[in-house]
Amino acid sequence: MNDTTSFHLEAARDGILRLVQLTDCHIFADAESRLLGMDTRDSLRAVCAAIEREQPARDALLATGDLSQDGSPASYEFLAQQLDALGTPVFALAGNHDDPPTMARHFRGDRINPARRVLSSGWQIVMLDSTLPDEVHGEVSAAELEFLDAAVGEHPERHVLVCLHHQAIDTGSRWIDRKGLRGQAELGARIRAHANVRGVVWGHVHQEAHHRLDDIEWMSTPSTCVQFKPGSEDFAADTAAPGYRSLALHADGRIDTAVHRLKNFGFESGNGVRAV
């Protein structure tokens, strides 16, 4: 997970880079375990099948953390098998539930790439680590901010998409914003200081949001499993279906994006393990 080298992704023929973001898969070592009553392996399988069907021209996958629920080798082996089978490069970040050393050892496959910078079609994608050991909330360290500055500074002519696990902008649910990203203002200022950052995407909040501020798209993406109720003061699961986000990065810096949810996927939350 510490590889800061960049990966050159072959440009799409039409000059549009098509990405799929999936996040917060919360996979357990034990296939029988459930998250608030949900079989997270089953929902990830269903989301991967939907991606296979609905995004045939995808160039790469972005997996933005909380991929595992328990940081176990078995959870990463399952994840690697599922994501590798989609046949496109996978770039991944750890979330607060992940165990980065175990993830580095066991989240492996032909298409899983440890690079934290991706260059393609006039774009650079920068993966920022926002996790803190043994904490639910996150922070982008001074070293990560420098990494962002250096990456952007090296390719000032490229448009930039920034990925991280925790919310770069509060989501409006007090309980999850308290466990969100410390130093949001500083990160925001660093991002805005670079005129070529076009978008920021994250997970953690298990719900969709999209704001356009200062000519930048700020986006959160649903989990591949349990969703959180938007606007709730206290923890509450939502009955919305699992999903993912598609992103089409155009050569002129425009981003077309949409959230896609599973159809016919019923879920009533039960008692169980907390998801955040």
Looking only at the bridges linking them, the beta strands covering 197-202 and 255-261 are unpaired
State the minimum distance, in angstroms, from the CB of residue 226 to Fe ion.
8
Residue for token digits 């269903």?
A: 46
DSSP-derived secondary structure letter, 125: E
Stretch that binds Fe ion, among 47-55, 59-67, 192-200, 244-252 (CB under 5 A): 59-67
State the minimum distance, in angstroms, from the CB of residue 73 to Fe ion.
20
Looking only at the bridges linking them, the beta strands covering 209-213 and 216-220 are antiparallel
* Cα Rg of the chain (Å, integer): 17
State the minimum distance, in angstroms, from the CB of residue 56 to Fe ion.
28
Stretch that binds Fe ion, among 21-29, 75-83, 116-124, 134-142 (CB under 5 A): 21-29
State the minimum distance, in angstroms, from the CB of residue 215 to Fe ion.
29
Number of residues that bind Fe ion (CB under 5 A): 2
First to last CA, the chain: 22
Stretch that binds Fe ion, among 7-15, 17-25, 155-163, 238-246 (CB under 5 A): 17-25
CA distance 19 to 247: 5
Measured from the CB atom, the residue of 122 and 272 that comes closer to Fe ion is: 272
Measured from the CB atom, the residue of 17 and 48 that comes closer to Fe ion is: 48
The answer to whether 98 contacts Fe ion (rule: CB under 5 A) is no
CA distance 197 to 94: 22
* Burial class for 264, CB neighbours closer than 10 Å (0-12, 13-18, 19+): exposed
State the minimum distance, in angstroms, from the CB of residue 7 to Fe ion.
26
Measured from the CB atom, the residue of 36 and 191 that comes closer to Fe ion is: 36
Measured from the CB atom, the residue of 65 and 89 that comes closer to Fe ion is: 65
Q: Answer for the pair 107, 67: CB distance below 8 angstroms, yes or no.
A: yes
The answer to whether 24 contacts Fe ion (rule: CB under 5 A) is yes
Stretch that binds Fe ion, among 22-30, 136-144, 185-193, 264-272 (CB under 5 A): 22-30
Where does 34-74 show beta strands of DSSP type E? 60-64
* Burial class for 204, CB neighbours closer than 10 Å (0-12, 13-18, 19+): buried
State the minimum distance, in angstroms, from the CB of residue 25 to Fe ion.
9
Q: Answer for the pair 66, 98: CB distance below 8 angstroms, yes or no.
A: yes
Stretch that binds Fe ion, among 19-27, 49-57, 99-107, 213-221 (CB under 5 A): 19-27
Measured from the CB atom, the residue of 59 and 66 that comes closer to Fe ion is: 66
Query: Of 18, 43, 66, 118, which one interacts with Fe ion (CB under 5 A)?
Result: 66
Measured from the CB atom, the residue of 180 and 199 that comes closer to Fe ion is: 180
State the minimum distance, in angstroms, from the CB of residue 112 to Fe ion.
20
Inter-helix orientation angle 142-154/184-193, to 10°: 10
DSSP-derived secondary structure letter, 157: T
Residues that bind Fe ion (CB under 5 A): 24, 66
